[in-house]
Amino acid sequence: MKKLIAAALALTLVGLWSVTAFTAPAKGKEVRPWRAKVAVPKYEAHLKYRGVSPSSLDNYAVGQSHIDAAWKWRLAQTHKKVFNTFSHAVAVMEREPDFVFAQSQAAFYEWIELEHPDLFARMVEMVKRGQWELTGGMWVEPDGNMPDGEAYVRQRLLGQRYFLERFGRMSDMEWLPDTFGYNRGLTQIVARSGGRYLWCKKITSNKNTIFPFHL
């Protein structure tokens, strides 16, 4: 288990997304193979330092989509992005029984429920099958620097209550891939509202406030 955790840390350090050479369907050409040439040696070096061989690891990939509820587009466009993403994910699940997709932000689920009930019914079925993972018990993914404790509690209340009422269970994993900071009380709030895990990405990105704990 310690080796697997160390491997996961190494993947985080070099960015597994950088290792993957993406393929453009139209032209069939690798878009970013140069990233693999840079990242793979770093990845292997981190594993070697921790006494882990890449060939001894099992890699699991879970589909997910980070969608900003509001960014450089209008809210109506977010609704379209959510519909396109969710409908495509369900279509892949129906075609590929082994495909698993994780999605946060209960607000998006409610949009689909109200605007596209047929798609929502298919999503409910995929949750039952175990192909659709309910992640992120908050109503929307917040900027972690701005909300106070009360706002976090209400976010979790609204999000987890929606999941419980519509899907019969709450999410056990909070999902914050794109926030640039974290409230000190966040982990306790998550733990006391049905969460067991906190998935985050940018916790070591701050150059001024260094995260003190490493595996």
- Residue 68 annotated as catalytic: no
Q: What are phi and psi of 173, to 5 degrees?
A: -130, 120
Give yes or no for a contact between 142 and 106, defined as CB atoms under 8 angstroms apart. Answer: no
Give yes or no for a contact between 161 and 155, defined as CB atoms under 8 angstroms apart. Answer: no
d(CA 95, CA 90): 9
Q: What are phi and psi of 56, to 5 degrees?
A: -90, 0
Catalytic residue among 118, 148, 172, 178: 178
Give yes or no for a contact between 88 and 39, defined as CB atoms under 8 angstroms apart. Answer: no
Q: 196-201 — which CB contacts under 8 Å span 24+ positions?
A: 196/172, 197/172, 197/173, 198/173, 198/174, 199/135, 199/173, 199/174, 199/175, 200/176, 201/12, 201/176, 201/177
For 173-208, give the DSSP string. Answer: EEEESS-S---TTHHHHHHTTT--EEEES-TT--SS
Catalytic residues: 178
